[in-house]
Amino acid sequence: MGNLHKGHMALIDKAKSYDSHVMASIFINPLQFNDASDFNNYPKSLDNDIDLLSKHGCDSVFIPDSSILDNIKEIKAPDKALHLCGMNRPGHFDGVLTIVNKLFEITKPTRSFFGKKDFQQLRLIKDFIKEKNLSIEIISVDTVRELNGLALSSRNNRLSDSDREKAAMLYKTLSTIKEKSDDLSYEMIQMYKDELTQQGFTVDYLSVCNPSTLKDLKDFHKKPILVAIAASISGIRLIDNILID
């Protein structure tokens, strides 16, 4: 959706390694916003985006206007979209899959690259490709982080310096949970949620779940597990995750 950063460029760099024509698409998709003001305030930096893509060797950029939504085929996301970010963002992943399907129809990629930071989105797109038997290889790329561990996001630009430093607590929390994964308990997860709340975060969720179904786990000792978090600081919502296998 534009407002590109080093995380997006990691996708371009990975795509370039396949020695094929690399295309990026930029479209701020209104279908995946639950809040009209969030959509209207979404940062736009098209000239900088194109310049950054060019510097990383992207061969072409597809920048559709709103007419791409005319008579668009609506895709209903499966039930696993109701977990994690879908709990409090109804219809969000319907909008994601709807526009991704349309982009795939137009651009007809051989491969498509997605970041692991948006793990739920990645899982849903992989499942969609398999369900529809599309001949597109979905390639996941590791999360790119700031020096303090904060996952890169377009939303980070809206953080104050102090909030940006504080936001590093999200990844530190995930890393600590990974270190203690053999002794995980519901009480421990609740303790970490309480600590984040005390530091000024509004915690949407801190979930230990099955990375395939995205359902909360009852037995934390069965690996692999995904630990995923969504929390807001000063009204800016951030997500992150860590896979423990």
List the catalytic residues: 8
Three-state secondary structure along the chain? CCCCCHHHHHHHHHHHCCCCCCEEECCCCHHHCCCHHHHHCCCCCHHHHHHHHHHCCCCEEECCCHHHHCCCCCCCCCHHHHCHHHHCCCCHHHHHHHHHHHHHHHHCCCEEEEEHHHHHHHHHHHHHHHHHCCCCEEEEECCCECCCCCECCHHHHHCCHHHHHHHCHHHHHHHHHHHCHHHCCHHHHHHHHHHHHHCCCEEEEEEEECCCCCCECCCCCCCCEEEEEEEEECCEEEEEEEEEC
Contact 48, 5 (CB under 8 A): no
Helical packing angle, 119-132 and 92-107, nearest 10°? 50
